[in-house]
């Protein structure tokens, strides 16, 4: 019996991946290249197509292509509206371009949203109908699955958890607002906070973890110093965890999910981040009923989350049509 295949594509600001997958979430072959986004949309679209062709199977049937891409985008029409880390990309109709090139159904989704779908289908959210996924990395993104379905909203823009305002008038966010969760608790924010302390001589252990180079101080340096017991680094992670926990408490009040799944590089600090998150949730949730049976757990899919999210997107779209 011929195998049914899905081609999954993960378009990121720095990395482009394509993979040959089966609908059950198994990756059989994958290829990774640098995005080289500054070369412009035409060059990148050509290389997306080339990577898809490189993983194309010699046997079996490819029945769809799923693509994860940075937002904002229109998931209903498969249009990338204008991702900040893809210069020159403005209302690029990726779905139509790929459908015309490969003569197959194509589905395009926001990378953080598809992270939620991937974890729900193949990772730490398996077995739960209602989960909220957060990725805490360079920025903070998220996705919401309710009743087993991805919540998209009126224009497909739902789930921007990183732009919940947790400190009105706080630090300037990349979105132009002030006090967003992303501006206070992302890897970039933690790194900036650590740099400020290191410049003033108040974070010697963090600076040492960065090899003594102020310009190399990052959230990874903070995590390394915190793991070695540095109080300044631990305090930075505790502060980030508090803001994340406040946001999770707000999301609990709104959606009452069964589980929160947290991924991204900053979560690699483990309990140094998760413990203050859970403390803040207990402090800010209006009633213990919200958190007593609601787990906050690490994501399970790692770097493959966007690829497997693209597979899950194809499965969900095709399942709805059947």
Verify that 56 and 72 share a domain, yes or no: yes
**Cα–Cα distance, 307 to 314 (Å, whole number):** 11
Verify that 257 and 109 share a domain, yes or no: no
Residue 122 lies in a domain: no
Radius of gyration of the chain from Cα atoms? 20
Verify that 71 and 202 share a domain, yes or no: no
**Do 31 and 51 meet the contact criterion of CB atoms below 8 Å apart?**
yes
Number of H helices, E strands in the chain: 10, 12
- 32-89-157 Cα angle (round to 5): 90
Cα–Cα distances in Å, from 31 out to 47, 51, 166? 12, 7, 39
Query: Residue 13 carries which DSSP code?
Result: S
Q: Is the sign of the CA dihedral 313, 54, 300, 44 positive or negative?
A: negative
Element (H, E) at 134: strand 131-136
- In which domain, by residue range, is 138 found? 127-300
Verify that 194 and 142 share a domain, yes or no: yes
Verify that 172 and 278 share a domain, yes or no: yes
**Do 131 and 116 meet the contact criterion of CB atoms below 8 Å apart?**
yes
Token output for 188: 């970039």
Q: Is the sign of the CA dihedral 289, 290, 295, 296 positive or negative?
A: negative
pLDDT tens-digit readout, 48-58: 999 999 999 99
pLDDT score, position 321: 54
**Cα–Cα distance, 236 to 194 (Å, whole number):** 8
Residue 32 lies in a domain: yes
Residue 315 lies in a domain: yes
**Do 76 and 157 meet the contact criterion of CB atoms below 8 Å apart?**
no
Query: Residue 146 carries which DSSP code?
Result: E
Verify that 164 and 234 share a domain, yes or no: yes
- 199-175-91 Cα angle (round to 5): 135
3-state secondary structure (DSSP) of residue 172: strand
Residue 264 lies in a domain: yes
**Do 136 and 263 meet the contact criterion of CB atoms below 8 Å apart?**
yes
3-state secondary structure (DSSP) of residue 177: coil
**Do 137 and 165 meet the contact criterion of CB atoms below 8 Å apart?**
no
Q: Is the sign of the CA dihedral 31, 123, 174, 183 positive or negative?
A: negative
Verify that 146 and 281 share a domain, yes or no: yes
**Do 57 and 63 meet the contact criterion of CB atoms below 8 Å apart?**
no
pLDDT tens-digit readout, 233-286: 999 999 999 999 999 999 999 999 999 999 999 999 999 999 999 999 999 999
Verify that 192 and 283 share a domain, yes or no: yes
Residue 184 lies in a domain: yes
Verify that 86 and 22 share a domain, yes or no: yes
CATH number at residue 169: 3.30.420.40
Per the structure, the count of domains in the chain is 2
How many CB atoms sit inside 10 A of residue 28's CB? 12
Verify that 154 and 222 share a domain, yes or no: yes
Residue 308 CA neighbour count, 13 Å, CB half: 24
Residue 226 lies in a domain: yes
Residue 232 lies in a domain: yes
Verify that 156 and 290 share a domain, yes or no: yes
Verify that 308 and 296 share a domain, yes or no: no
Residues 6+ apart with CB under 8 A from 240: 184, 185, 189, 190, 266, 273, 276
Q: Which residues of the chain have pLDDT under 50?
A: 1
Residue with tokens 């081609």: 7
């Amino acid at each position: 019996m011929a195998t049914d295949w899905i081609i999954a594509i993960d378009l990121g600001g720095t990395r482009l991946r394509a993979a040959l997958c089966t609908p059950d979430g198994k990756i059989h072959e994958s290829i990774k290249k640098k995005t080289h986004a500054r070369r412009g949309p035409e060059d990148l679209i050509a290389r997306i197509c080339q990577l898809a062709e490189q993983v194309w199977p010699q046997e079996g049937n490819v029945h769809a292509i799923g693509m994860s891409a940075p937002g904002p985008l229109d998931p209903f029409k498969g249009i990338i509206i204008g991702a900040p880390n893809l210069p020159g990309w403005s209302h690029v109709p990726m779905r139509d371009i790929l459908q015309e090139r490969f003569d197959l159904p194509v589905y395009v989704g926001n990378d953080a949203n598809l992270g939620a779908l991937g974890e729900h289908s193949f990772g730490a959210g398996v077995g739960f109908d209602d989960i909220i996924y957060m990725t805490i990395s360079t920025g903070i993104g998220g996705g919401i699955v309710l009743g087993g379905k991805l919540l998209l909203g009126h224009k497909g823009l739902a789930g921007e958890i990183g732009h919940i305002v947790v400190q009105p008038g706080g630090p300037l966010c990349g979105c132009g607002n002030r006090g967003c969760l992303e501006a206070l608790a992302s890897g970039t924010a933690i790194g900036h906070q650590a740099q400020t302390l290191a410049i003033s001589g108040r974070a010697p252990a963090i600076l040492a973890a960065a090899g003594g180079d102020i310009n190399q101080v990052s959230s990874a340096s903070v995590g390394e110093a915190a793991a070695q017991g540095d109080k300044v680094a631990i305090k930075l992670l505790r502060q980030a965890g508090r803001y994340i926990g406040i946001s999770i408490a707000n999301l609990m009040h709104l959606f009452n999910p069964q589980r929160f799944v947290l991924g991204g590089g900053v979560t690699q600090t483990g309990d140094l981040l998760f413990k203050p998150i859970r403390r803040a949730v207990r402090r800010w949730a209006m009633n213990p009923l919200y958190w007593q049976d609601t787990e906050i757990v690490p994501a399970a899919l790692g770097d493959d989350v966007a690829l497997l999210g693209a597979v899950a997107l194809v499965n969900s779209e095709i399942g709805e049509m059947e």
